[in-house]
Every structure is written in structure tokens, then in C-alpha cells.
């Protein structure tokens, strides 16, 4: 009987794959493809040419080590010294754009705008100019998690003054690079900055202040984003003509069962995790989601706090933040099935405030990262949720990618499968759901320093040999396949680069209810 069920599942799995191949959809002619990196993860040169220390420099140098392999980003991919080489690789892939981030402490070594490091400005000028000379559009993230250390010592992002410092920094970069950079992202993933950085301790600066660290950090980040956006509109938009957005990450939450309770729990998780960051910017009413406000206020009173753990915006701040976007930057990797959880475990915390429990469907295919499972339809549902809740804004998918182990082969069939499956869902979102998706960014251009995991996990389209001082880059199978998607605007499941043997596709992703 078990063999029969297994065979039936195998037949169904092949049917799903065949159906994906037969959609016939192509990406619109003006759809753009690119790849992404972040400054600390690839640049290296951590103390060269006037750069100041940031929170990741500090955290990775401490004893005992913070990372799984006791590694740092001191050298990383040595991208600081390989601008021309890396841009030529990007050109060979045919990417339309390259998303990278600026190192705040490379430009402003002590975090303040009273001194701008000319060698830091020159490095990014060289990179931007090289990209443009090769017809590659730069999409620049102003802040990707690497707070200057001395600003952290003043309290970091829970300190409201950080909004002032960020606006000063943003003005410097708009002034230095905005004549050529026309696509900006203020922040990458406020959730990771705030919840991981100040509530759970999983990211730098690794503070565990779960009661309100994430809430106060998020409050400052949203104000900083809104103010930077308005500053660009008032001081730079007319002469530079650029666009400014923000990147927010979302793990899709699907009901565990069809029960009303689980459906409500899943929607609550989406609103209180994703909407927590997006609502103030993209909703018509602005402000935090009402259910987040109501629950945190109620629980804060029950827990004996003299005021809500979730700060309040002034009416002026609500108006300033609302609508502060020219597009929606979305990072998405995976999903969870969710059920209601009214327990008091972890109270007080944001997790308790949300009151749900996320689980993995055992049918989902894992990656090398313990949090990342292959659930392609979660991306489409996220895009549909954005359309329904925020009036179908333009969405640029700013990250999507797959983790394998540090010793995984160049013939990375699982990564190819991941990209094909997720891009099929993007096509469905565009053609069947009319979602306004205009671009897709693969994470990552190359293997790099993966935060707490160090170099034990790899996300790159290009392999980097971290044992070789020259840090050579070698294309994986996924780099060739992604380049073919860019060229043809289609997903070709049968495409096999001549350098590699053909993958034997075994698609095991099925809907959770099956």
C-alpha cells in the first residue's frame, strides 16, 4: 500500500512539473532581471582607505566567535579590489541591473556627515561608472545592516536620533551619486535590522531586548525612511529624476488547516509581521495595522507596562511616512503553515503579541538553511496579498534565492530548480493575477559571507573559493540558466549548459493539503 501511495505521489509530482513547463508564459518585454549583494558580505577591506568599524566588524571580531565557522567579513569576496572584474562577469550574464549596498562607515567613518571619506566616495564612483559604461543599471541600497559602531554605542536604531543621522547620511549619498543612480532603496529588511538585531539577538548588534527592542527600532527606521524619501523629493528629485523605495521581506503564512481559527491566525501573522513594516508606507490610512496596535496595547497593559511597548506616531509622522514610496521592494524566500497559539511562552515579545505558531509542511523540500524550504506558491500569494492590500503598487523583487552547503557542486541543480519554480509563480502572478511586478533579483551574485552562518552556506550564482587569496569566481550551472532566462524572457526546463550534464528533474513540491 505504501509503495502504491509513493508511486501515485511520484506521478502527481511529474504532472506538476509538466504543468509548470507548459504554461507558455513569457516575461514582459520591459521586465528587468538583476542580481544582488550587500557591502559587508562581499567587499572586505574592512579597515582600508579610511573606513571606520561597523557593528559586524565588532561582532565578528569578538571572542567567543559569533559565526558558525568563526569567520569574519574582513576579506570576504574582496570585491573592494575587483570592481572591473566583477562588472565584466555581470555583463557576461546579461543582467539589466546590479543591486548593491553602500557601506555607511566606508563613506562616513564615524557615522556623522561632518567628515566624508573621499576614498570611500571614489570606490563607489568607480563601481557606478563601470556599471553604467557596461549598460548595467545600479540599484543602490543605502543601508544593509552595517551600522557604524560609534552610532551603535549611542543606542543604535532604537534611539530616535538615528533618524537624524540616517537622513544626513542619505543626503551625502544622494549628493555624491544621484546624478547617475536613479533607483534607490533606503533600507533592506527592517525585520532583520530590528527583530533580529534588537529583539532576538540573531543579527548584529545581537541585543536580546525582546520586550520592545524590535518595536522601537522599527519605529525609528520607518521615520528615517519617510524623512529620507521626503528629503529626496524636496532637494534632489527635480534635478536628478530618481526613484526611492524600501525593501521589506516576507515569509508567507498559510493556514495549517481550513479552520476559521487557522485562517485568521495566518492572516494575523501576515499583517503583524509583514504589514508591521509595510502598512505605514503603503496603505491608504498609514500608521501601524490596527490589529497590531490593539493587541500590543492590550498585552502591554496586562503585563504591567506604564505605556504600550509599541510607540505611537504623531499625526504629522503618519502623513509624512504614508505614500513615501515610488515602488515596493520585496525580498521573499520561503513560507510557513500557521496555526493559532494563545500560550504565554516568550511573553512579553512580538511573537507572543502575534499569537501564532509557524510550522514546516513535511512535504516541502529543504535547503541547506534550516529556515528555507522550497515553497514556490508562497511568492505568488505574497504578490497577490500586496496587490489586494496596497492597491497593486509596482513591485521589484529585490531578493530571492536558495542555500546550499559550502562544498556543493557547481552543477547546482537544486538552485536551478528553485529559481525556475519561483519564477513560474512570478509569471502566474503577472499573467493570471495582474500583479504589477516589473523586475526580479536573484540572491546572490556570488557566494559571500552569510552573516551568522559565515561561509558554511552558499547562495551564489558564482562560486567563490575562499581558500584562495585571489578569491576566484567560477560560474555555477545556475549562472548559465539564469543568463538564459534573461536572454529569452522565458523559463526553459530543458536548458542545459554545455559545461554540465543534464539535471534529472524530480519535483516534490506539492500543496500542503495533499
Whether residue 102 contacts residue 173, with contact meaning beta carbons closer than 8 Å, is answered with: yes
Catalytic residue among 43, 152, 189, 509: 189
Catalytic residue among 43, 130, 183, 399: 399
- How far is Cα 228 from Cα 231, in angstroms, rounded to an integer? 5
Q: In the annotation, is 189 catalytic?
A: yes
Q: In the annotation, is 48 catalytic?
A: no
Give CA angle at 441 (27, 51), nearest 5°: 155
- How far is Cα 331 from Cα 379, in angstroms, rounded to an integer? 9
Whether residue 81 contacts residue 470, with contact meaning beta carbons closer than 8 Å, is answered with: no
Whether residue 146 contacts residue 103, with contact meaning beta carbons closer than 8 Å, is answered with: yes
Grid coordinates representing 233 are 523629493
Q: Which helix (DSSP H) or strand (DSSP E) does residue 2 occupy?
A: helix 2-21
CA proximity to 112, closest of 162, 160, 58, 169:
169
CA proximity to 147, closest of 206, 61, 199, 99:
206
Task: Tell me 80's DSSP state.
Answer: G
Grid coordinates representing 79 are 570585491
Sign for the pseudo-dihedral over CA of 245, 250, 255, 261: negative
Helix, strand, coil shares of the chain as percentages rounded to 5? 45, 15, 40
Q: Packing angle between helix 162-177 and helix 118-133, nearest 10 degrees?
A: 50
Locus of grid cell 521592494: 329
Q: What are the residue numbers of the active site?
A: 189, 399
Amino acid at each position: 500500500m505504501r509503495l502504491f501511495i509513493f508511486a501515485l505521489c511520484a506521478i502527481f509530482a511529474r504532472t506538476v512539473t509538466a504543468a509548470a513547463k507548459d504554461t507558455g508564459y513569457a516575461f514582459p518585454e520591459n521586465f528587468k532581471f538583476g542580481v544582488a549583494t550587500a557591502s559587508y558580505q562581499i567587499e572586505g577591506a574592512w579597515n582600508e582607505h579610511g573606513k571606520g568599524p561597523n557593528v559586524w566588524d565588532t561582532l565578528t571580531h569578538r571572542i567567543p566567535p559569533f559565526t558558525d565557522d568563526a569567520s569574519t567579513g574582513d576579506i570576504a569576496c574582496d570585491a573592494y579590489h575587483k570592481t572591473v572584474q566583477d562588472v565584466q562577469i555581470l555583463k557576461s550574464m546579461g543582467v539589466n541591473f546590479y543591486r548593491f549596498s553602500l557601506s555607511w562607515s566606508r563613506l562616513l567613518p564615524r557615522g556623522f556627515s561632518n567628515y566624508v571619506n573621499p576614498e570611500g566616495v571614489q570606490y563607489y564612483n568607480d563601481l557606478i561608472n563601470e556599471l553604467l559604461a557596461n549598460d548595467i543599471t545600479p540599484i543602490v541600497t543605502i543601508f544593509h545592516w552595517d551600522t557604524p559602531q560609534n552610532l551603535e554605542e549611542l543606542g543604535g536604531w532604537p534611539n530616535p536620533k538615528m533618524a537624524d543621522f540616517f537622513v544626513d547620511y542619505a543626503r551625502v549619498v544622494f549628493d555624491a551619486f544621484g546624478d547617475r543612480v536613479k533607483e534607490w532603496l533606503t533600507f533592506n529588511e527592517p525585520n532583520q535590522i530590528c527583530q533580529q538585531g534588537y529583539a532576538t539577538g540573531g543579527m548584529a548588534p545581537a541585543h536580546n531586548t525582546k520586550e520592545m527592542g524590535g518595536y522601537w527600532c522599527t519605529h525609528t527606521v520607518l521615520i528615517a525612511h519617510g524623512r529620507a524619501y521626503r528629503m529626496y523629493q524636496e532637494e534632489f528629485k527635480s534635478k536628478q529624476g530618481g526613484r526611492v523605495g524600501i525593501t521589506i521581506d516576507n515569509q508567507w503564512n498559510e493556514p495549517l488547516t481550513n479552520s476559521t481559527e487557522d485562517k485568521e491566525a495566518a492572516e494575523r501573522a501576515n499583517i503583524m509581521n509583514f504589514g508591521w513594516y509595510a502598512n505605514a508606507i503603503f496603505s491608504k490610512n498609514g500608521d501601524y495595522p490596527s490589529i497590531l496596535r490593539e493587541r500590543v496595547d492590550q498585552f502591554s497593559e496586562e503585563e504591567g507596562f506604564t505605556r504600550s511597548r509599541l510607540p505611537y506616531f504623531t499625526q504629522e509622522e503618519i502623513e509624512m511616512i504614508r505614500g513615501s514610496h515610488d515602488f515596493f521592494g520585496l525580498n521573499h524566500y520561503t513560507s510557513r503553515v500557521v496555526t493559532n497559539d494563545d500560550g504565554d511562552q516568550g511573553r512579553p515579545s512580538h511573537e507572543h503579541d502575534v499569537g501564532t505558531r509557524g510550522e514546516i509542511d513535511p512535504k516541502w523540500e529543504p535547503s541547506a538553511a534550516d529556515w528555507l524550504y522550497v515553497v514556490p506558491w508562497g511568492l505568488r500569494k505574497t504578490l497577490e496579498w500586496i496587490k489586494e492590500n496596497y492597491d497593486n503598487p509596482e513591485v521589484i523583487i529585490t531578493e530571492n534565492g536558495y542555500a546550499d552547503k559550502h562544498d556543493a557542486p557547481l552543477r547546482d541543480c537544486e538552485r536551478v530548480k528553485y529559481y525556475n519554480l519561483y519564477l513560474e509563480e512570478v509569471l502566474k502572478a503577472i499573467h493570471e493575477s495582474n500583479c504589477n511586478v516589473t523586475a526580479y533579483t536573484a540572491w546572490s551574485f556570488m557566494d559571500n559571507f552569510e552573516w551568522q552562518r559565515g561561509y558554511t552556506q552558499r547562495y551564489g550564482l558564482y562560486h567563490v573559493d575562499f581558500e584562495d587569496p585571489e578569491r576566484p569566481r567560477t560560474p555555477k550551472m545556475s549562472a548559465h540558466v539564469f543568463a538564459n532566462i534573461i536572454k529569452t524572457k522565458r523559463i526553459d526546463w530543458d536548458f542545459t549548459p554545455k559545461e554540465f550534464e543534464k539535471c534529472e528533474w524530480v519535483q516534490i513540491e506539492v500543496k500542503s493539503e495533499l
